[in-house]
Amino acid sequence: MSRRLLRTVCTGALAAATALTGVVPAAGAGPTDPPVDPSAQAPIAWADPAAEPVGPVDPEAGTGTGTGTGGDPVAPTAEAPPAPPVTPDAPDAPDAPDAPETQTDPDAQTDPTTPPTTPVGDDASALPPPGGDSVAGLLTRLRTLYRQAEEATERFNAAEEALKVQAADTKKVTARLIAARTDLARGRAAAGRLAREQYQGRGALASLPPSLQMLFAQDPQSALDQGRLLARAARDRAGTVARLEGAERRADTLASTSRKALDRQQSLAAAQRTRRDEVTAKLREVEKLLASLSPEQLTRLTELERVQTAGAQRELLDSGALDGLRTPSRAGAEALRFAVGQIGKPYVWGAEGPESYDCSGLTQQAWAAAGREIPRTSQEQWATLPRVSLSELRPGDLVVYFPGATHVALYLGEGLVVQAPRPGGKVKVSPVAANPLLGAVRPDPGGDALEKYAPPALPEGATDGGDEGYDRP
């Protein structure tokens, strides 16, 4: 066979092979594989409806990028370009290597906080809660919402307290206004009687000039004395009328100012109630979501809360801050006895007893039972009462929590507090480190510590229930 004929046969065979495989024998360059259709991927499934959802499956995992057969798409056949001349000494161009397949490591763990990209079925209980699908993320969201709710409650309490103060001031002003108007009416009545007497002639002598009064009087000295008395009475009456009129103007102004202030306080209270209702709505959403979770998930949530609280309590006790036995003052012991007597009663927004309490309502009423008035809200208690260090903490002192001083409890001793914990909870005994500590205050800094003290007996179930977070209704 001639060299020309051999070259023609080789060129034709190479062109046919190129058309069938789609590989262009040019400098190692080849067309890329078509992209894998993500919709062809199997749906994501959870291993257990009660367990944590696994992360999304990598859409690239388990798919080859080479030119396979069977179900894999194949590049369309294209007409081969004219082949370049091939010399016997020139080596054949190497085939383009297939892209390596992406393998999934069966031991690899996905991030439990990553939400799945595809929901599983129509079961609402299988869907992760918004903002994170881990128990830790859920507990963080709950604590944030409860803290916001308590902040709104304390703002509402402050507005209500200011409203009470303003209402009392307005009542006092109204009483002064009524008294002033009564005096004014009496003065005007006296002035009217004088005018009538003068008109009827009884006061004709007094209306004459002093020289004529002396001329017509039977006793000039008596007339002179009477004139002085009448003049003084007239001046006193005129002064009284002027003072009463001035008092009326001042009282009217004060009453108007008080009414405006009262209107402002009522508007503020309405705004705070609106904020409170907004937070309440958020809590309802969370409760609805949690109600759809399985018992296993709620158990894990409760267990995580207990573990975190126990860790914080252990760290505080190990620090030695609460070492040493300290006894309360007489008033502190009375406040504690009252608080322990409320254990089991429900937490209710803005409640001050006797059937329910919020956190600062409990502390205020406990110390009121001990004969000492303290502010209504936890922020005011923190801002106005004398502060003490944790190393000086004694039973009856108030322990304040969170940077905004939005929660408060009574220190019971031995690392425990009595508190109204949060919405849905009941008054109970909790570890002192159940919430982030801000500090402590003492309502009776001058009270001497008792030489002998027996803590009040705790009722059965005093420590039952969550210290923070959520208990399923």
Rounded Cα gap, residues 46 and 57, in angstroms: 11
Name which of 49, 149, 67, 71 is nearest 420 in CA terms.
149
- Give residue limits of the domains in the chain: 1-108, 136-288, 295-441
Query: Collapsing DSSP states into helix, strand and coil, what is residue 347?
Result: strand
Rounded Cα gap, residues 250 and 256, in angstroms: 10
Rounded Cα gap, residues 418 and 428, in angstroms: 6
Rounded Cα gap, residues 196 and 188, in angstroms: 12
Question: Is 136-288's fold the same as 295-441's?
Answer: no
Q: How many residues does the chain have?
A: 473
Highest mean pLDDT among 102-106, 203-207, 334-338 belongs to: 334-338
Span of 161-175, 274-288, 433-447 with lowest mean pLDDT: 274-288
Residue 363 has pLDDT above 90, yes or no: yes
Tell me: the pLDDT tens digits for 46-90? 333 333 333 333 333 333 434 333 333 333 344 444 444 444 444
CATH number, domain 136-288: 1.10.287
Residue 256 dihedral angles phi and psi, to the nearest 5°: -65, -45
Hey, what CATH topology would domain 295-441 get?
endopeptidase fold (from Nostoc punctiforme) (3.90.1720)
Q: Report the run of H or E that residue 161 belongs to, with start and end.
A: helix 135-200
Which residues, including other chains, have CB under 8 Å from residue 67's CB and lie 6 or more apart? 21, 22, 33, 74, 75, 98
In which band, very low, low, confident or very high, does the pLDDT at 208 lie, cut at 50, 70 and 90?
low
For residue 348, give the DSSP letter: -
- Tell me the whole-structure pTM to 2 decimals: 0.56
